[in-house]
Amino acid sequence: MAADLEEKTDRYGQLLTEALEAATIAPPPETPMGEAAAECYEMAQSYLADGRHFREDDDLVNALAAFSYGHAWLDAGARVGLFDVPTEGHLFTV
């Protein structure tokens, strides 16, 4: 069971890393929507950093949670038009 949690944690960390690389802010930065997109992107980056910290400490449960939350910020933002993202592939559910 621990090996499954480790594999899933690493997979979600990689997913969030790739999603951050693929997402770009859609609205103009000086608009309220652009500011909201920047905040959502920053939250995802922060969760990635937190997840990596937890992973280094072998705290797999909190690492997986952080990676999942970070991806949720990006995925939700993509659904409401804050981010331009690839529509094909495994990174987003749009």
Degrees to nearest 5, angle at CA 69 with 89 and 28:
70
Average pLDDT for 62-81: 97
What's the pLDDT band for 89 if we cut at 50, 70, 90? confident
Neighbours of 1 (CB within 10 A): 5
pLDDT value at 81 more than 70: yes
| Helix 2-22 / helix 60-79 crossing angle, nearest 10 deg | 30
What's the pLDDT band for 1 if we cut at 50, 70, 90? low
Task: Specify the CATH number for the domain of residue 70.
Answer: 1.20.1270.90
The pLDDT mean for the chain works out to 95
Q: Give the total number of structural domains in the chain.
A: 1
First vs last C-alpha separation in the chain: 31
Q: What is the pLDDT of residue 80?
A: 95
56 belongs to a structural domain: yes
11 belongs to a structural domain: yes
